Amino acid sequence: DAKTTQPPSMDCAEGRAANLPCNHSTISGNEYVYWYRQIHSQGPQYIIHGLKNNETNEMASLIITEDRKSSTLILPHATLRDTAVYYCIVSESYNTDKLIFGTGTRLQVFP
């Protein structure tokens, strides 16, 4: 079973920041937080991952709370092409054997 809880859907205006929350209250010390997204009819795409520190790459920023029980994925300037289902996943291995997906958050970016 997935170890994360995400809202089923969110809306965001184009050009604004999209903040997608994720609860993982049972996360253990050696588990990483991964974010993937899936655009309609495509395979999931890796976005970012982190352990305890905040992370940023060209796609997004990941903010992890100090107690690591929740995190937020931030898309700083959402575009229509960011409309997708976003999955937050916790996994116990840096070189993860597998990912257990939940149902994710469906982000709709509108003009």
Q: Which residues of this protein are in contact with another protein, per CB under 8 A?
A: 2, 32, 34, 41-46, 49, 85, 87, 91, 93-104
Instruction: State both tokens at 30.
Output: 């050696």
Burial of 18 (0-12, 13-18, 19+ CB in 10 A): buried
Closest approach of Cβ 84 to another protein, in Å? 13
Helix (H, G, I), strand (E, B) or coil at 82: helix
Which 3 state secondary structure label does DSSP give 104? coil
Q: What's the half-sphere exposure (Cβ side, CA atoms, 13 Å) at 53?
A: 2
Pick 67 or 97: Cβ nearer another protein: 97
Q: How far is the CB of 95 from another protein (least distance, A)?
A: 5
Q: Given the complex with another protein, which of 58 and 111 has the nearer CB atom?
A: 58
In whole angstroms, the minimum distance from the beta carbon of 15 to another protein comes to 28
If the CB atoms of residues 14 and 55 are measured against another protein, the closer one turns out to be: 55
